[in-house]
Amino acid sequence: MTNKVSKIGVLTSGGDAPGMNAAIRAVVRTGLFHGLEVYGILRGYQGMIDDEIIQMDTKSVANIIQRGGTILKTARCKEFFDYEGRKKAYTNLKKRKIDGLVIIGGDGSFRGAVKFGQEFDIPCIGIAGTIDKDILGTDFTIGFDTAVNTAVEAIDKVRDTMDAHDRIFIIEVMGRDAGYIALHSGIATGAENILIPERKTDMNDMVKSLQEKERRKKLVNLIVVAEGDDFGGAVEVEKVLKQNLPKAEIRVCILGHIQRGGSPSCLDRLIASRMGYHSVECLLEGRHNVFVGIQNNKMHYIPLENAVKNKGKISDEWLKIVKILAS
């Protein structure tokens, strides 16, 4: 494990997340600082297969730390699931003598990287760039803080209308498999109910409590639902509530992709810079297939194959707090 790298590639893969640019900037500038050649691979694994690879200099990453999206673009790539696709990608790296990779993405991107790093002799370092905050081995993922703050700002605005009209609002936030955006934005906006994929939704219980609130004229109620909630998202929840609360004014608001865009928060810029810097240090130390996370404010390294989706880990404490504070 001592093969020092000299030419490294960086790519963003899977869903974009605010702060990815800050991470790219950190990788490029740390690499250049250490005298490495640094290459940007466009459109994730697709660009590696299609040979869309460009050499980066310090100016290539100027004026991007504050920008959402990713200057390298991102993609989902079917061909990378097959060995033939990965071999093509390797040939393109080999041709330029690229001998280390930094992958900024989610657990899917890491699964691809693990296979790639095992099949071909190329060290891969993973950094979590996903708004869902659903990766094991890190307290933060790049993009979550921005996304959750975007959701909070939007929900606060909806609350004005909710309050003015005495309405029930069901707001759907992102999170296909993870309820962190719903939980954090819901607590921060004083939601009465938060529905997340990690917990079975007891619709009877929720209906009963809303009926009881209607009796005591508490008509303003905020329900925050993660898109991947087992009940099927905001529209499904609305159907049930309309049947059981015929007098209530109920509206649905789906926040959607506004949560994925926008200028990254200070926290996202910081963690992206820190993780980007350490990912290059890892390559220089000769580490192979490692995930660079942050735990308890310290860098935390685990094998990349262990950086899987963090399922069902939301603590009961949070849900208890929601119940007590929303009474």
Candidate list 16, 132, 134, 229, residue with the active-site label: 132
Q: What, of ligand ADP, ligand F6P, none, does residue 13 touch, CB below 5 to 8 Å by kind?
A: ligand ADP
112 forms part of the interface with ligand ADP (CB under 6 A): yes
Nearest Cα to Cα of residue 157 among 236, 241, 258, 227: 258
111 forms part of the interface with ligand F6P (CB under 6 A): no
83 forms part of the interface with ligand ADP (CB under 6 A): no
264 forms part of the interface with ligand F6P (CB under 6 A): no
The pairing of strands 124-128 and 290-295 is parallel
Both structure tokens of 207 = 């209906």
Distance, in Å, from the CA atom of 90 to the CA atom of 124, rounded to the nearest integer, reads 12
176 secondary structure, DSSP code: S
Both structure tokens of 160 = 């004005």
Residue 102 burial (10 A CB sphere; 0-12, 13-18, 19+): buried
* CB nearer ligand F6P, residue 85 or residue 175: 175
| Active-site residue, 50 included | no
117 forms part of the interface with ligand ADP (CB under 6 A): no
Question: C-beta of 131: minimal distance to ligand F6P in Å?
Answer: 5
- Residues 221/226/228/232 CA torsion (nearest 10 deg): 10
* Position among 174, 241, 245, 314 found at the interface with ligand F6P (CB under 6 A): 174
Partner residues linked to 10 by β-bridges: 40, 102
Half-sphere exposure of 274 (CA within 13 A, CB side): 18
59 contact partners, CB below 8 Å, separation of at least 6: none
Opening angle at CA 184, ends 142 and 64, nearest 5: 25
Contact map string, positions 225 to 244, toward ligand ADP, x by CB under 6 A: --------------------
* Position among 39, 45, 140, 291 found at the interface with ligand ADP (CB under 6 A): 45
233 in Cβ contact with 227 (< 8 Å): yes
* CB nearer ligand ADP, residue 90 or residue 169: 90
Nearest Cα to Cα of residue 183 among 320, 20, 296: 320
149 forms part of the interface with ligand F6P (CB under 6 A): no
13 forms part of the interface with ligand ADP (CB under 6 A): yes
37 forms part of the interface with ligand F6P (CB under 6 A): no
Q: What, of ligand F6P, ligand ADP, none, does residue 9 touch, CB below 5 to 8 Å by kind?
A: none
Q: Which stretch binds ligand ADP (CB under 6 A): 105-113, 209-217, 223-231, 273-281?
A: 105-113
Nearest Cα to Cα of residue 150 among 5, 228, 41, 263: 263
15 forms part of the interface with ligand F6P (CB under 6 A): yes
Distance, in Å, from the CA atom of 223 to the CA atom of 190, rounded to the nearest integer, reads 9
259 forms part of the interface with ligand ADP (CB under 6 A): no
The footprint of ligand F6P on this chain (CB under 6 A) covers a number of residues equal to 10
Q: What, of ligand ADP, ligand F6P, none, does residue 105 touch, CB below 5 to 8 Å by kind?
A: ligand ADP
Opening angle at CA 232, ends 327 and 258, nearest 5: 80
Residues that bind ligand ADP (CB under 6 A): 13-15, 45, 76-77, 80-81, 105-109, 111-112, 115, 130
Q: Which residues are catalytic?
A: 132
Residues that bind ligand F6P (CB under 6 A): 15, 106, 130-132, 174-176, 227, 260
